[in-house]
Structure 1
Amino acid sequence: FNPPADGIGLDGLQRGWAHIERATRGGSDREARFNMMGASMQGAMAFQKGLGCVHSLSHSLGGVDPRLHHGTLNAMFLPAVVSFNASAESIQKENRLNRMAQVMGLASGSDIPEAIRDMNARLGLPTGLAAMGVQRGQFDQIIVGALADHCHKTNPRIATAGEYAEMLGDSL
């Protein structure tokens, strides 16, 4: 429970979502880059809420295969983790996904995972973990690391090994 972090996070999401494409198109758009800097700072301030399954999975996979970029891994895992967290009591009680969707210009919180996948594609990111060379045979090792990661317990819904396997499969 951290209302200031929630507000900062929502504003950062709106700022980042509105400017990331312009900021990554060559780098000469100073307004877009300035807003991405602000969104990045706001994201760091919202870390007080915890980083959850996205980072548990990214930390673990990055340890298994250090050539993989942490930020790209976060982008690959985010749609599956958003879907997983949708049923969390705190997410539903506080209408978080619909509030996020509103600042992203989406009709509903259920649209967020696909919107993130679409944004990833527009940004030229890999289509999934398989495109990054990750294989199902690595899942057990990734899951062990994710369960032990310090971010695991900060997720709004605590994942089991089986649920991590589902998120990995959805991100493949």
Structure 2
Amino acid sequence: MFSVNFGTKIHMGEDSLKRLEQFDKERIYIITDEFISKSEILSKVMALISSSNELLVFKDVIPDPPIDTIVAGIELAKDFRPTQVIAIGGGSAIDAAKGIIYFGQQSNNLMDASLICIPTTSGTGSEVTNFAIITDAENGTKYPLVTDDILPKEAILDTSLVINLPQSQTANTGIDVLTHAIEAMVSTKASDISDAFAEKAIKLVFDYLPRAYKDGTDKVAREKMHIASTLAGLAFNQASLGLNHGIAHAAGAKFHIAHGRLNGILLPYVIKFNSGISNSINQEVAEKYRYIASILDLNTASATIGTRSLVNEINKLLTTLGIPHSFSEYGLDKKLFDDNLSEIADSAVKDMTTKTNPIPVTPKDVARILIEAY
């Protein structure tokens, strides 16, 4: 038996931000980063909230939010005791808000707060998941936080907030969407329901990500990628992820490469490893990748050909998006790579997302993948 829970109410389409006008006499805690706080996005959001509400803004979120950020966010809200928390930004802002709410509940400071997410990137899908990543900066470790206690109550998908997203962010977050969807489809917890979300997300990425990358003002492409991100989030919230994210969490803490870009570098190598097409084919897993290739109308004459077609198509997409095909192409220092290889391999195997990889993995396997990807 398995259970399905879609606990997040999603507002989308033009004027979806007007949902904020419905708040009355609430204590609203806005969590964001310095960039958003200085942009028109925050002022646009705050202008829609009536003066009957009390507002408090925490703007100190940084990428890969560390424990110190979570503690500071809880401390600021200690006396305010919010009834609503609004996270505005990319995955880091949303993850920080989730961490602040979760650990704040443990200390009874944010007990009655509901979480509303307003994503300003099209990538993490965090606005509909019970996942968050918190960083221990001192030890260089990322910890997944997975609990329904952090599942957002509402998500507001307003395409106008991503129109001006730079090309590099469009590429990085977009390839993260693809990784989420592919990993959800081959996960050991995949189901027909999660597959339905993942399949549509994959198709949307290949159809619209190159358009959004080429022309950020393409409203159709931006809207489709915003929806794809949420669909992929819904998929992996049911099915979880796999080794690609396990390695990305471990390596990202050491190499400080943007999460989506790191996923993109790794994705072809992880697919080849999981399917076994480079040595001894794993027929069952390769058939899953073959099915994904069929969604994209690629050559699927056999499981091996289908998987290779998928890898080739992903590599073409990486080239289009200006994403490196290897760590050396990225410019990663070889000594830094070598010095951290063993620790990353051990951490990746222990990562929660690796548990649902389609085949079992050892640290030696991870090391081989990383060496090939260098």
User: Given the two structures, how large is their TM-score scaled by the length of structure 2?
Assistant: 0.43
More displaced stretch, 161-170 vs 12-21 = 161-170
| Alignment partner, residue 13 of structure 2 | none
Q: Could you tell me how far apart the structure 2 residues matched to 1:130 and 1:97 are?
A: 27
Deviating beyond 2 angstroms after TM superposition, the runs of 4 or more aligned structure 1 residues are 87-92
> Number of residues paired by the alignment?
169
The letter of the residue matching 1:162 is: K
2:281 is the alignment partner of 1:91? no
**Shift, 1:170, TM fit:** 2.4
2:368 is the alignment partner of 1:166? yes
Q: Tell me the C-alpha RMSD between the 2 structures.
A: 1.7
Q: Aligned to 1:76, which of 236, 257, 265?
A: 265
Shift in CA distance, 91/13, structure 1 to aligned 2, threshold 3 Å? same
| Alignment partner, residue 27 of structure 1 | 216
Q: Aligned to 2:354, which of 146, 152, 155?
A: 152
Q: Could you tell me how far apart the structure 1 residues matched to 2:282 and 2:222 are?
A: 34
Q: Could you tell me how far apart the structure 2 residues matched to 1:109 and 1:150 are?
A: 26
Q: Check whether the contact 1:90–1:156 (CA below 8 A) recurs between aligned residues.
A: no
Higher strand share: 2
Runs of at least 5 residues in structure 1 that lack an aligned partner in the other structure: none
| Alignment partner, residue 142 of structure 1 | 344
| Alignment partner, residue 110 of structure 1 | 308
SS of the residue corresponding to residue 352 of structure 2 reads: coil
Q: Check whether the contact 1:56–1:151 (CA below 8 A) recurs between aligned residues.
A: yes
SS of the residue corresponding to residue 79 of structure 1 reads: helix
Deviations 1:108-145 (CA, angstroms, capped at 9, x unpaired): 23211222122111111123112331534132121021
Higher normalized contact order (CA 8 Å, seq sep 6+, divided by chain length): 1
Calculate percent identity across the aligned residue pairs.
25
Deviations 1:70-107 (CA, angstroms, capped at 9, x unpaired): 00000011101111221456525xx3212100122311
2:254 is the alignment partner of 1:64? yes
Q: Could you tell me how far apart the structure 2 residues matched to 1:57 and 1:70 are?
A: 11
2:318 is the alignment partner of 1:124? no
Q: Could you tell me how far apart the structure 2 residues matched to 1:157 and 1:119 are?
A: 26
Shift in CA distance, 4/134, structure 1 to aligned 2, threshold 3 Å? farther
More displaced stretch, 101-110 vs 80-89 = 80-89
Q: Could you tell me how far apart the structure 2 residues matched to 1:102 and 1:38 are?
A: 22
SS of the residue corresponding to residue 158 of structure 1 reads: coil
Q: Could you tell me how far apart the structure 2 residues matched to 1:114 and 1:161 are?
A: 27
Higher helix share: 1
Q: Could you tell me how far apart the structure 2 residues matched to 1:41 and 1:17 are?
A: 16
The letter of the residue matching 2:323 is: L
**Shift, 1:46, TM fit:** 1.0
Q: Could you tell me how far apart the structure 2 residues matched to 1:125 and 1:163 are?
A: 24
User: Given the two structures, how large is their TM-score scaled by the length of structure 1?
Assistant: 0.90
Q: Could you tell me how far apart the structure 2 residues matched to 1:159 and 1:169 are?
A: 15
Q: Check whether the contact 1:88–1:156 (CA below 8 A) recurs between aligned residues.
A: no
Shift in CA distance, 134/77, structure 1 to aligned 2, threshold 3 Å? farther
The letter of the residue matching 2:195 is: D
Rg larger for: 2
